[in-house]
């Protein structure tokens, strides 16, 4: 019953808010008002919980989080992606083919964004005295709701609604759920984004020409390697594209295998836990050795 109630809350937040904001010419101003009014009281956040938060409080937390997330997406969409400037439409963007706009790098970006959103919201819910399993569920569902709303916003812009993006959003949110609810699995696997030193434009979120996405298998997560020198290393599998603003014959779709330094473990062992946590999601350029295979060659 709690799961059903949670899903109903997500759907209500998704459909109610867009209909309100689309009818307003000053949607950006309305968004800012929403952000200020809907952010939860930070004094309520605590990791020292004597008891689980009551369901009514959990429900209110869900509503506040989803409305705030939708508001942030709206602000960014209006500022960067021309949301609500077109009539709604749907489009098929394809997957990882060479004739797509970004060669699939955008799909990895959507998956990563939904994954990180699921983890961030799961942690937030847990600090509000919601037990870990429920917090992971709420975080994943909220991620799907907020990123799903992003696709609704895209339908009112030049981008258009993409079913492919919806699929990878769901995959990223589910991956976020399983890697949050299972610490043992999380000790072995990271999903990261690497942003290089040569950014193009001012919208780093969609700068796929300067991005790489990878999964890292951390050897220190296995008993066999935990007390050996190999605990300092990890195996990586990643994907990135280059040259998709150029003619077809200059484009690259690179799948790579890498051997990297396990910086998450290194910083955690030396007491830098916040830095170690950030490095579960960010790959520092130059800290691995890659073996690339361009699928176009």
Q: E strands of the chain, at which residues?
A: 90-91, 161-162, 189-195, 211-218, 233-242, 252-261, 288-294
Lowest mean pLDDT among 74-88, 138-152, 234-248: 74-88
Measured between alpha carbons, how far is 179 from 18 in angstroms, rounded to an integer? 31
Calpha distance 97→296 (Å, rounded)? 10
Per-residue confidence (pLDDT) for residue 220, from 0 to 100: 93
pLDDT at 57: 85
Half-sphere exposure (Cβ direction) of 128: Cα atoms closer than 13 Å: 26
Let me know if 271 is exposed, middle or buried by CB neighbors in 10 A (0-12, 13-18, 19+): exposed
Mean pLDDT within 77-89: 83
Residue of 279, 164, 282 whose CA lies nearest to 213: 282
Rounded-to-integer distance, Cα 173 and Cα 152, Å? 17
Q: Which residues contact 111 (CB under 8 A, 6 or more apart)?
A: 168, 169, 171, 172, 175, 213
Alpha carbon distance 259, 44 (integer Å):
42
How far apart (Å, rounded) are the C-alpha atoms in residues 263 and 241? 25
pLDDT at 200: 60
Scan for tokens 């992971």, then name that residue. Answer: 136
List of residues 6+ apart from 93 with CB closer than 8 A: 100, 101, 106, 162, 164, 165
Of 258 and 5, the structure prediction assigns the larger pLDDT to: 258
Phi-psi label, residue 189: left if phi above 0, alpha if psi -120 to 50, beta otherwise: beta
Whether the Cβ atoms of residue 139 and residue 118 lie closer than 8 Å to each other: yes
- Give residue 9's pLDDT band: very low, low, confident or very high (50, 70, 90): very low
- % the chain with pLDDT above 70: 81
Confidence of residue 19 (pLDDT cuts 50, 70, 90): very low
What local confidence, expressed as pLDDT, does residue 202 receive?
Answer: 55
Domain positions in the chain are: 1-46+53-186, 189-297
State the residue for tokens 């003619």: 247
For 139-189, how does the pLDDT look when each residue is reduced to its tens digit (9 = 90+)?
A: 999 999 998 988 888 888 877 888 999 999 999 999 999 999 999 999 999
Please state, in angstroms and rounded to a whole number, the distance separating the CA atoms of residues 172 and 286.
26
């Amino acid at each position: 019953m709690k799961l059903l109630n949670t899903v109903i809350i997500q759907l209500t937040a998704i459909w109610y808010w867009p209909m309100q904001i689309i009818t307003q010419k000053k949607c950006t101003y309305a968004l800012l008002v929403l952000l200020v009014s809907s952010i939860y009281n930070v004094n309520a956040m605590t990791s020292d919980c004597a008891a689980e938060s009551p369901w009514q409080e959990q429900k209110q937390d869900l509503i506040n989080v989803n409305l705030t997330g939708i508001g942030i997406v709206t602000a960014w969409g209006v500022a960067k992606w021309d949301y609500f400037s077109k009539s709604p439409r749907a489009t098929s963007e394809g997957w990882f083919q060479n004739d797509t706009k970004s060669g699939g790098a955008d799909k990895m970006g959507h998956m990563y964004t939904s994954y990180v959103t699921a983890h961030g919201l799961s942690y937030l819910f847990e600090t509000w005295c919601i037990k870990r399993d429920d917090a992971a569920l709420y975080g994943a569902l909220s991620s799907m709701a907020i990123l799903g709303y992003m696709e609704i916003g895209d339908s009112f812009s030049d981008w258009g609604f993409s079913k492919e993006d919806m699929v990878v959003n769901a995959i990223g949110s589910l991956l976020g759920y399983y890697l949050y609810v299972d610490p043992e699995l999380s000790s072995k696997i990271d999903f990261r984004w690497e942003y290089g030193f040569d950014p193009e434009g001012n919208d780093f979120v969609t700068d796929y020409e300067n991005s790489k996405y990878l999964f890292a298998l951390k050897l220190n997560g296995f008993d066999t390697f935990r007390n050996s020198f190999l605990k300092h290393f990890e195996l990586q599998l990643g994907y990135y594209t280059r040259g998709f603003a150029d003619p077809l014959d200059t484009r690259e779709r690179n799948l790579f295998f890498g051997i990297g330094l396990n910086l998450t473990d290194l910083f955690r062992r030396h007491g830098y836990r916040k830095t170690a946590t950030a490095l579960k999601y960010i790959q520092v350029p130059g800290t691995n050795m890659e073996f690339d295979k361009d699928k176009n060659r």
